[in-house]
Structure 1
Amino acid sequence: MNKRRVFFYVQHLLGIGHLARASRIAKALVERDFDVTMVMGGLPVPGFPGEGIKTIALPAVAAGDRGFSGLSDAAGDPVTPAFLERRKDLLIDALRRSDPDVVIIEAFPFGRRQMRFELLPLLDAIAAMERRPLVATSLRDILQERLKPGRAEETVALVREHFDLVLVHGDPAFARLQETFPLAGEIEGKVVYTGLVAPPPPEQPNEKFDVVVSAGGGAVGKELIGASLAAARLLPDALRWCLVTGPNLPPSDFDALSASAPAGAGLFRFRQDFASLLAGARLSVSQAGYNTVCDVLRAGCASLLIPFVAGGETEQSTRADRLEKLGLATVLPEEGITPQELALRVEAMLARPKPAMPPLDLNGAAQTAMILADRLSREEAVRSFRSA
């Protein structure tokens, strides 16, 4: 029997959260014997999407600034109409050559409106295919709530016309789609909750740190890392700190931060054993992105969250506030990141007992693969019955 083919589009613009979550899902699909081609439109990130996954790299675009107001190419220059037209043609050509059974589009039409120039033509090309694949959108559990008039209605219209499934990667006991997308009831029949896309249970750490500070994969964590290094100098020398900057911090900034690191604080761009480090840590200090929170929940460690709010972003604040109400985190606003305040918060949290983790569903990657396999099997059974 031939493997079912998946065509998985993902565009990361600032951090690598979208790519990381999509890569976890793609890995689970491969493990369930799908043939996965991931089409990536962002700057390349070493290690992603991972082994066993075919990749197609479109000419890369990134966010023009922290507020997502424009697109730039790999050199940092504004994109041109000719550049965008070429990307669109390459994407549609890749679709036709892949001849997929399933198309997964990450975020759109709930997000990634910047990519409408190629995604609307892609959806039209899918609709015109002689053998139309199953079409799903892959969506995090909490959406950005700042919407212009008419945007939600446009999203509903696109889902109704082009999508078979809205895969919400969350646990409805923690967050439901209608809480950040009020028109969710109009597409209720297409919405399926997969559980949170968390990593597998981590191995025991080879190194143990009291505090693990992570800035995620974006380029906006310099302030957090710098304040954490200064806070470490205000706290007892016996505390061991691990600070992970992420891959996008400019080399000059990394070198400057490294030169200021006190004794007992290790500064790293990336740690392959990050999940196990969290499992052995007493406290995680981070932004409140989806993947980082999933890592922390899986590890079961205490968490101090500093939500990203640039450009009017609300998603991380919503997630952090919900975790704080569950007793799983303490929230520190971005404007409160001073070495003194950070040191006080870290000291207070280290004095608390380890939090009890609620029974949230963290197996979203495997369950996404199962949902798609079951849906395809049902459709194949219906086609066989009708042709008999």
Structure 2
Amino acid sequence: MTFKAFLHVQHLLGTGHAVRAARLGQALVARGVEVTLATGNLLPPTLDTSGLTVVSLPPVRSPDAVFNRLVTPEGVEIDEAWRAARVAATLNAFAAQDYDLLLTETYPFGRRMFEFELGELVRVAKDRARPPLIATSIRDILVRKQELWKEEWMADTALAFFDRVLVHSDPAFVQLSDSFPFAERIDHLVRYTGFVGGAPRAASAGSDGTDEVIVSCGGGAVAIGLLEAALAARSLSTRAGDTTWRLLVGHDIADDAFAAFRARAPEGVIVERARPDFPDLLTRARLSVSQAGYNTVLDLLIAGTPCVFVPFAQVKETEQTQRAEALAAHGRAVVVAEAGLTPDKLAKAADEALALPRKQTQVRLGGAETSADILIQDLKERFA
């Protein structure tokens, strides 16, 4: 029997959600599943979606880190007519085939702003004469909510509609209960998969990255302060002032801002767009300077490169700080606060990080493949 899966992903600022969803989808495809990936935002140009049927829903994003508004790619705030069109597009895409699996990325453990769409999607799926297996895919650490009732709602929704909760983490490194107070209530739904990522990716041409400081920022939408500090930090560093600093500017940063960074780059600093061979660059680098997003941290765990983390922590964000501090506790990183970041503070953190031993941290990988195996076993049990 050939199973059919419908994966829904909505990234708002960073690209990590889309990256994980695509990798999980490709792992299912490798096991014979037909996968449709419905994306609620424009996918990054570096993302490999080969093997997937991509459905582009009306795109929307967050204009800032407050996450209390949604806008189109042109910056127009959405309205009720847009919401109705988005729900219709999602439900039409889901109705196009008799799917055996519905997999949401993050929801209901986030994306409450999309309850108008995703709540309707899971209700429609649950009400089918032949309901699909309904699962959700969540990262290692959730963003804590100030209102406890919101976290309780997450657990209630999971219990009401979901058959499986895939947590893309190594429980020896970080557990769901570390960032979710109602983890025990849904424990019977949870399966730890290991981290998603770590598969072979594009190799670098030539020797780029060798003994360099690699400064990265994912999509870059909330990393202007980090890039600004990095431009001037090289000359202030005693341990890394003699080598090239390569700043990888994410594709969410506008072309005019990118051009301005390039024009201002001092001697010894290269500014270029984010590259698909980023993990390969890290294996040769002297130091990594970055935020602490899920995919970047995983690449660094594998590479073993000394690192400085400037975790994204604007407004109510807690996830990256908790992840960065976990690595610092393992002696793998130096953490410097995003608030008040200066070139001097970044240079001092770089010098401190370069005094750390270069080592790999052993964590469970293969999360996409394990997730696919878990879901296929669940599907066989459901539809056997």
TM-score higher than 0.5: yes
For residue 285 of structure 1, what is the aligned residue in structure 2? 289
Identity %: 40
Equivalent residue runs for 1:294-373 within 5 Å: 294-354=298-358, 356-373=359-376
For 2:254, the aligned partner's letter is P
Letter in 2 for 1:34: V
Distance (Å, rounded) in 1 between the aligned partners of 2:308 and 2:241: 20
Partner amino acid for 2:224?
Answer: K
Equivalent residue runs for 1:165-204 within 5 Å: 165-201=164-200
Over the aligned positions, Cα root-mean-square deviation in angstroms equals: 1.6
**How far apart, CA to CA, are the structure 1 residues paired with 2:241 and 2:107?**
47
TM-score, normalising length from structure 1?
0.94
Shift of 1:336: 4.2
Provide the C-alpha distance between the structure 1 equivalents of 2:7 and 2:319, rounded to a whole number of angstroms.
23
Q: 2: distance between equivalents of 1:290 and 1:182?
A: 21
Per the alignment, do residues 148 and 18 of structure 1 end up closer, same or farther by CA in structure 2, a change over 3 Å counting? same
Q: Report what 2:38 is aligned to.
A: 39
**Partner residue of 1:48?**
47
In structure 2, what is the Cα distance between the partners aligned to 1:66 and 1:315?
Answer: 13
Structure 1 position 379, deviation (Å): 2.6
- The 5 A counterparts of 1:229-308 are 229-235=231-237, 238-308=242-312
For residue 378 of structure 2, the aligned residue among 375, 381, 388 is: 375
Q: What secondary structure is seen at the aligned counterpart in 1 of 2:182?
A: helix
TM-score by length of 2: 0.95
- Shifted more, 163-172 versus 359-368: the winner is 359-368
Contact 1:141 1:168 in 2 (8 A): yes
Give the whole-Å Cα distance in 2 for the aligned partners of 1:47 and 1:269.
Answer: 10
Deviations along 1:163-188, one digit per CA (max 9) or x if unpaired, are 00010000101111112111111111
How far apart are 1:368 and its partner, in Å? Answer: 0.7
Go from structure 1 to structure 2 and tell me whether the alpha carbon gap of 1:353 and 1:64 turns closer, same or farther (over 3 Å shift): closer
The worse-fitting range, judged by mean Cα deviation, of 104-113 and 140-149 is 140-149
Contact 1:170 1:194 (8 Å CA) reproduced: yes
Residue 264 of structure 1: how far off its partner (Å)? 2.5
Q: Is the contact made by 1:198 and 1:298 (CA closer than 8 Å) also made in structure 2?
A: no
**Which sections of structure 1, spanning at least 5 residues, go unmatched?**
382-388
State the 1:30 CA deviation.
1.5
Specify the code of the residue in structure 1 equivalent to 2:275: R
- CA deviations on 1:205-229 (whole Å, 9 max, x unpaired) are 5322421100111312122112111
In the alignment, structure 2 segments of 5+ residues that lack a partner are none
Amino acid paired to 2:116:
F
Partner of 1:221: 223
Q: In structure 2, how many angstroms separate the alpha carbons of the residues matched to 1:263 and 1:360?
A: 38
Q: Would you say the 8 A contact 1:288–1:319 is kept in 2? A: yes
Native 8 Å contact 2:335 2:349 kept in 1: no
CA contact (8 A) 1:209 1:242 kept: no
Runs of 4+ that moved beyond 4 A? 201-205
Q: 2:76 & 2:203 partners in 1: Cα distance?
A: 44
Question: For 1:299-325, what per-residue CA distance to the aligned partner results, in whole angstroms no more than 9, with x for missing partners?
Answer: 121111011111210001111111100
The answer (yes or no) to whether the contact 1:63–1:71 under 8 Å persists in 2 is: yes
